[in-house]
């Protein structure tokens, strides 16, 4: 699966400014820090306390046209959980959420990880549909569902 194409030409930082989440000075500080240390701008904004994980995830969904799926209260069938081994879910930071026919729906904190999607498609001979979720929600969901012995 190729990386998602941007459908909105604006960068995440600009989208967050337009939504009133951050201001120009906060974006500038975050970009400077990113240039020095590397990493994803969204993660830096969260680490600095300027934005929440959900703010960043929502901006990514706007930028790339991917759907957002909050996992906190999402009911996942244990049979779907069994489709992806826990070590794979943790490695790629993703959670299987549904399977309908030949389509497996997963929630990911990093929807740009095309290797994860390709590996799952090869493993299950299916099409993967990606939803965006926050890192915290994906990790909490993995812990919640795999600790049940699913």
DSSP 103-140: EEEEEES-TT-HHHHHHHHHHHTSEEEEEE--HHHHHH
Angle at 134 between CA 88 and CA 109, to 5 degrees: 40
Specify the range with the lowest mean pLDDT, choosing from 18-22, 109-113, 130-134: 109-113
Q: With 80 as the cut, is the pLDDT of residue 44 above it? A: yes
Lowest mean pLDDT among 2-6, 32-36, 62-66, 98-102: 2-6
Report yes or no: 106 and 100 within 8 Å, Cβ to Cβ: no
Report the share of the chain in percent with pLDDT over 70: 92
Band of residue 150 on the pLDDT scale cut at 50, 70, 90: very low
Residues whose CB falls within 8 Å of the CB of residue 87, separated by 6 or more in sequence, listed in order: none
Question: What's the burial of 36, exposed, middle or buried (CB within 10 Å: 0-12/13-18/19+)?
Answer: exposed
Judged on CB neighbours under 10 Å (0-12, 13-18, 19+), 111 is buried
Residue 14 pLDDT: 92
Tens digit of each residue's pLDDT (9 = 90 or more) over 75-127: 899 999 999 999 999 999 999 999 999 999 999 988 888 899 999 999 889 99
Which pLDDT does position 93 carry in this prediction? Answer: 93
pLDDT of residue 86: 94
């Amino acid at each position: 699966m190729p990386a998602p194409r941007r459908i909105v030409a604006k960068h995440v930082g600009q989208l967050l400014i337009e939504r009133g989440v951050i201001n120009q000075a906060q974006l500038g500080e975050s970009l400077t820090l990113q240039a020095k240390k590397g990493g994803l701008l969204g993660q830096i904004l969260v680490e600095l306390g300027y934005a929440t994980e959900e703010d960043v995830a929502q901006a990514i969904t706007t930028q790339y046209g991917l759907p957002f799926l909050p996992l906190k209260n999402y009911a996942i069938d244990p049979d779907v959980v069994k489709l992806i081994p826990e070590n794979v879910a943790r490695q790629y930071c993703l959670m299987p959420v549904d399977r309908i026919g030949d389509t497996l729906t997963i929630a990911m904190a990093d929807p740009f990880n095309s290797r994860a999607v390709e590996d799952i498609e090869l493993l299950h001979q299916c099409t993967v549909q990606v939803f965006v979720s926050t890192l915290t929600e994906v990790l909490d969901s993995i812990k919640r569902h795999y600790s049940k012995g699913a």
